[in-house]
Structures are given as structure tokens and as C-alpha cells.
């Protein structure tokens, strides 16, 4: 999802996804829906995937509501193109993807039964505007499902100062672009303020352990955080230098081979009713 910076001193950037990382995400997209949202999905519904990125979650949503419709929106045209290609590759015909601003969407009031909002609010400067728009396009009694990171509560073991520096770089990069690296723990506050009711709060950890899990986290860091796009953005904003990434690469390789290695990303999850 791309984000717009209000400061003229720093350029916009896009935290997009390459093909290798999309393949990684597609391994278990249903996990993103989890037990909090899945029971509310039903055939025939009209759902929105807000900040759809390359469409990996959108595909799972679309399949859950056939013969209903799934719409995915993202500000970044390249991500919308990837989502369209992905849907075509997987034979998903009830998915429509559009370029749109999460704070100003091209849909009528009360259009959707469910709005899914995963890993997007962290990148949007105006949280209130995004949630207000999500509430506007939901039917009365419609559902908003949010899942957002809590970078400060995420960790790796064994402890490693260079890997810990990686969390810091990501957090500083989000802040430099007017983002919110800890917004996962603030979701209940923001949804209540936006007028959502009957909130169901479920913080979780996405944990990577054992040989397969450690390898998955390694690929996550290498395929996304250490991508040319991300490292260029960090250096452009001045949140990291080349040496930081060189040390991170070496430490990641070392950590991968440590006995008992584990990594865990903290998320806040909230489901609320319009």
C-alpha cells in the first residue's frame, strides 16, 4: 500500500510487493482472516478489501462469498495490477480491483456487508479519515475487521542487536512517512472514536519457529524488508545506511542457524459493527 506524505522534505514511497514475496504470502492467506472474521463471511455478501496490495487476502475473501462480490482497492496502481493478475491466475471471477484512496472511495453509502482492513492503517497518516470512510461504505450493522502490527512488541530470539535494529528501522521508516508503527494496540480506541460498536478485540502473535517457520521468516525479511524498494526508501528518509543493512543480512543468516531460533510479529485485531 502506498502512503502519501504531507511533508515536502521527504518523498512519497511505496511499500509494495515483488513476485517472490507474493508467492510467500499466498501460502496461507486464509490465516489472515482467522477465527475473528471467518464466521461472519457468507455466500452472496459484498465485501471490500481495503488496501488490498497484491490481492493475496482478497482472493481468500472472494472465495468465501461466492456468488457474492469482492472489491479490492489500493492507492498504488502497480499493486492493483498484481492483484488483477493474481485473481486471473487463480480463476477468481468475483473479484474487482480498483485504484482508490482509502479516505475517499468511489462507493455509495452502505454498499458493503464487510470491510477488511489488514496492514493498511499503519501507513495512512489520517486514521480517523480512513475509519470514517470505512464506516460510510458499510451497511448499518456491517462489519469492519482490522489487523495491524505492533512493532514495539515484536521480537526475535536469540536476541540480536542488529535484528533488533531492523525493527527500529522499520518503525522509524513508518514514522518518517507519517505512519503508525504501534497502531495495532490503538485499534480499540480508534474504532470506538469512529463510532463502531460491540468491539471484539483479539491481539495475536504471528510466530515463526522450527525449521520451516524460521525459513519462512528469513524469506519474509529477505523478500520484503531487504528488497531494493524498502532499503532505498530507508536510505532516502535517512532512517538507515547501507552498513545497517549489511549487518542485518549477516545477522539474519547467523540467527537462522541458531538452536531454538524464533521470531514473532505482534498484531492487534479488532472486529466492530457499524
Q: What is the pLDDT of residues 53-111, one digit of tens each?
A: 889 899 999 999 999 999 999 999 988 999 999 999 999 999 999 999 999 999 999 99
| Cα–Cα dist 21/86, whole Å | 13
Sign of the CA dihedral running 24, 68, 2, 120: negative
Instruction: Quick: pLDDT tens for 206-215.
Output: 899 999 889 9
Q: Give phi and psi for 183, each to the nearest 5.
A: -65, -20
CB-CB contact of 78 with 18 (8 Å): no
For the stretch 214-232, what's the b/e string if a residue is b when 16 or more beta carbons lie within 10 angstroms of its beta carbon?
Answer: bebbbbbbbbbbebeebbe
Lookup result for grid cell 468475483: 94
Q: What local confidence, expressed as pLDDT, does residue 225 receive? A: 86
Each domain of the chain, given as residue ranges in start order, spans 2-273
Indicate whether 184 pLDDT > 80.
yes
Q: Which residues contact 120 (CB under 8 A, 6 or more apart)?
A: 1, 50, 51, 102, 130, 148
Residues 2-273: name the CATH superfamily: Vaccinia Virus protein VP39 (3.40.50.150)
Q: Give phi and psi for 123, each to the nearest 5.
A: -100, -5
Question: Hey, how many other C-beta atoms are within 10 angstroms of the C-beta on 17?
Answer: 25
- Supply the DSSP symbol for 101: B
Sign of the CA dihedral running 61, 149, 271, 178: negative
| Cα–Cα dist 241/232, whole Å | 9
CA distances from 14 to 90, 219, 220 (A): 25, 20, 17
| Residue 15 CA, distance from chain mean position | 10
Closest by Cα among 116, 123, 21 to 71:
116
Instruction: Quick: pLDDT tens for 32-54.
Output: 566 688 899 999 999 999 999 88
Residue with the bigger pLDDT between 274 and 7: it is 274
What is the share, in percent, of the chain residues with pLDDT greater than 90?
A: 65
Amino acid at each position: 500500500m502506498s502512503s502519501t506524505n504531507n511533508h515536502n522534505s521527504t518523498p512519497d514511497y511505496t511499500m509494495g510487493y515483488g513476485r517472490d514475496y507474493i508467492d510467500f504470502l499466498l501460502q496461507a492467506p486464509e490465516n489472515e482472516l482467522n477465527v475473528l472474521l471467518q464466521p461472519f463471511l457468507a455466500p452472496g455478501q459484498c465485501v471490500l478489501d481495503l488496501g488490498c496490495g497484491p490481492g493475496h487476502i482478497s482472493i481468500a475473501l472472494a472465495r468465501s462469498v461466492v456468488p457474492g462480490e469482492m472489491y479490492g482497492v489500493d492507492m498504488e496502481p502497480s499493486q492493483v495490477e498484481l492483484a488483477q493478475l493474481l485473481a486471473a491466475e487463480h480463476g477468481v471471477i468475483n473479484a474487482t480491483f480498483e485504484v482508490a484512496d482509502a479516505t475517499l472511495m468511489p462507493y455509495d453509502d452502505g454498499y458493503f456487508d464487510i470491510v477488511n482492513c489488514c496492514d493498511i492503517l499503519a501507513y495512512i497518516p489520517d486514521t480517523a479519515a480512513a475509519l470514517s470512510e470505512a464506516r460510510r461504505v458499510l451497511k448499518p450493522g456491517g462489519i469492519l475487521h482490522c489487523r495491524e502490527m505492533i512493532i514495539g512488541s515484536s521480537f526475535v530470539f536469540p536476541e540480536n542487536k542488529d535484528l533488533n535494529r531492523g525493527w527500529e528501522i522499520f518503525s522509524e521508516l513508518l514514522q518518517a512517512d507519517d505512519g503508525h508503527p504501534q497502531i495495532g494496540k490503538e485499534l480499540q480506541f480508534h474504532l470506538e472514536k469512529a463510532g463502531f460498536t460491540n468491539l471484539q478485540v483479539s491481539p495475536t502473535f504471528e510466530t515463526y519457529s522450527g525449521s520451516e517457520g524460521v525459513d519462512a521468516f528469513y524469506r519474509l525479511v529477505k523478500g520484503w524488508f531487504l528488497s531494493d524498494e524498502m532499503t532505498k526508501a530507508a536510505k532516502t528518509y535517512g532512517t538507515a545506511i547501507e552498513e545497517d543493512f549489511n549487518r542485518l543480512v549477516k545477522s539474519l543468516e547467523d540467527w537462522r542457524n541458531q538452536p531454538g531460533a524464533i521470531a514473532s510479529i505482534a498484531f492487534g485485531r479488532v472486529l466492530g459493527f457499524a
